[in-house]
Structure formats: C-alpha cells, structure tokens
C-alpha cells in the first residue's frame, strides 16, 4: 500500500463537518487582522487555509465547487479591510475642538470697532479759548514774587512766569497746552504753600 492510497483512505474516514473547518479558521484569523489592519497577513492566511483544504476533496467537481465558494467567502472577508479605522483624537485636538468656537472670528456685524486714533495734532487755539485764565495766573505769580520764597521755589516761579508770558498771546498746540497746564498746577501748589 502506497502513501497515496493510505492518505486517501484517511480522507474517506473524515467526518463531513471538516469542510467547514478552514472557513471557520479563516473567520477566527480575520477578526484580529481586520482590527489591526493587517491585510497582507490575512491574504497569506486565506491562501494557506484554502490550499490546505482543497486537496482534501477527492472528486474534481467537489474540488472546484469548494475552491470557488472558499474564494468568494475569503474575498467577502477581505472587504472588511475597507472599513475606515476610527482615528483616536489626541489631547491637543480635544482641547482645540473644545475651545474652537471661542477662537473663530466674529461675524462682521458683531465685530467691535477699534478705537479711533487721531494721527494728527488738533489745530492750535489760544489759551483763553481752552478755558485758561492767564491774567489771573499772572496776578498770582506777581504776588508770589513779592513773598519771601525759598531759592528753589523762587527759581521755579521765575521759570513759570516766563512760560506763561511766552504762551500768553499766541495759539497753543496740544503739547504746549499740557505744559501750560502743568505750570498752572505748580502755581496753585505755591499759592497753597505760601497761603496767598
């Protein structure tokens, strides 16, 4: 008895359910391979199981029918690899998605307008028109000059009186108005200090 005859006698003794064993093993192998997207390994396993199962059929008609059905079944399982894998969202992407509505630009109607900035100086105007009474300030400076002042205060009073005289009868720019306003506040400080 040759090896081939002994092999065929073993095949005849196998139960009928063994035909379902290769497709069942293919399904068991396909589940983890689909989850991990290992399509190349799946195709190799499907080929090996099909090649191992088909020669076990003794009749040629049964062989071709089984091979065709097994190929269709393996192809249907192969289509599972086309299902897109759900991408895990990173921590940075979750934070960005959470705060994204706050970072989107406002619609045009709701946008606040930027503050208006004047890029030029206001036109010069005399000190009297801006509300400064220089005659009264000049009278206070004359009274301060007659008092006994500390030398540092006397020097400052002289500088203030020169500034007031310089700004008296001409239009003032915004910076000159600020300088004159500082001088007037110094005059008020001196009048309070020397009780005029």
So what's the pLDDT on residue 74? 92
Tokens 């301060």 belong to 144
155, two tokens:
């020097």
What pTM, to 2 d.p., does this model score? 0.41
Q: What is the pLDDT of residues 109-156, one digit of tens each?
A: 666 777 777 676 666 666 666 667 778 888 888 888 888 888 888 888
- Over residues 17-25, mean pLDDT: 83
Q: How confident is the model at residue 97 (pLDDT cuts 50, 70, 90)?
A: confident
Task: Report the mean per-residue pLDDT for the chain.
Answer: 79
Q: Cα dihedral sign for 120, 124, 125, 130?
A: positive
Q: At residue 38, what are phi and psi to the nearest 5 degrees? A: -110, 70
For residue 51 the two structure tokens come to: 């090649």
Task: Give Rg (Cα) of the chain.
Answer: 51
Q: Can you tell me the distance from the alpha carbon of 143 to that of 135, in angstroms, rounded to the nearest whole number? A: 13
């Amino acid at each position: 008895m040759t090896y081939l005859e002994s092999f065929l006698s073993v095949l005849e003794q196998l139960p009928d359910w063994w035909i379902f064993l290769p497709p069942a093993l293919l399904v068991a192998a396909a589940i983890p391979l689909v989850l991990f997207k290992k399509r190349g390994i799946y195709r190799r396993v499907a080929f090996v199981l099909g090649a191992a199962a088909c020669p076990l059929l003794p009749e040629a008609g049964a062989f071709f029918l089984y091979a065709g059905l097994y190929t269709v079944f393996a192809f249907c399982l192969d289509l599972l690899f086309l299902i897109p894998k759900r991408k895990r969202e990173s921590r940075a992407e979750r934070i960005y998605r959470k705060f994204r509505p706050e970072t989107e630009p406002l619609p045009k109607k709701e946008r606040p307008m930027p503050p208006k900035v004047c890029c030029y100086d206001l036109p010069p105007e005399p000190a009297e028109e801006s509300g400064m009474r220089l005659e009264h300030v000049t009278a206070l400076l004359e009274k301060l000059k007659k008092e006994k002042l500390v030398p540092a205060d006397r020097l400052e009073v002289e500088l203030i009186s020169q500034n007031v005289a310089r700004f008296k009868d001409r239009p003032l720019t915004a910076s000159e108005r600020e300088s004159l306003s500082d001088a007037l506040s110094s005059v008020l400080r001196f009048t309070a200090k020397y009780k005029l």
